[in-house]
Structure 1
Amino acid sequence: MPQQQDKRAAKLTGLALAGTGLAHFARPQLFEPITVPAFPQNTRRHIYTNGSIETLVGLALAGRKTRKLGVAGLLGYLAYLAGNTVRKR
């Protein structure tokens, strides 16, 4: 039973991340305060780029067959965000 719960949690986490990614397109102004420190130039373009990445990674996490790829994508995405934040400070 715990394994089933882990799968459900992974699916819900992936869908939540995909929903957040889509929100970047619906309400980009909500993401400006957290995007500007890492991407002070062309912020709106980066909001849309981040939204695309989050949507794709979230959908990969939600799918059972693509979950490992989604985890790898998530780790790469987090490294990308952290690297940009550190570099811009």
Structure 2
Amino acid sequence: MSDVSSKPAALPKIAGLTLAATGVAHFVRPQLFEPITKPLFPRNTQQRIYAHGGIETALGLGLLSAKTRKAALLAGAGYLGYLGLSAARSTR
């Protein structure tokens, strides 16, 4: 029987591992991210793919530890805001 009280503690770690793996995938298979990245960042697309991969890897790793989780969440909110503004800017 699983302990229900451990599920909330596991969720940030699962999210962190998933985000970090996605970040690493930017380096392993950058071509997968080009269709998403190119419309928002038509110049220096490859450089942006790697930068976003690094950011997502760092954020994911930050979610793994309770000591760094709050900072990673705040940084993640800023990153999402940056991506949202970039998307809004690209539709003009």
TM-score (norm 1): 0.94
Match of 2:27 in 1: 25
Amino acid at match of 1:28: P
Match of 2:37 in 1: 35
Amino acid at match of 1:67: R
Please tell me whether residue 83 in structure 1 is matched to residue 62 in structure 2: no
Q: Point out which structure has higher relative CO (alpha carbons under 8 A, 6+ apart).
A: 1
- Count the aligned residue pairs: 89
Percentage identity across paired residues of the two chains:
48
CA-based RMSD: 1.1
Which stretches of structure 1, 4 residues or longer, exceed 4 Å deviation after superposition? none
Shift of 1:49: 0.4
Shift of 1:4: 2.5
Match of 1:46 in 2: 48
CA distance in 2, matches of 1:39, 1:68: 29
Match of 2:64 in 1: 62
Amino acid at match of 1:31: F
CA distance in 1, matches of 2:45, 2:81: 19
Amino acid at match of 1:68: K
TM-score (norm 2): 0.91
CA distance in 2, matches of 1:34, 1:3: 38
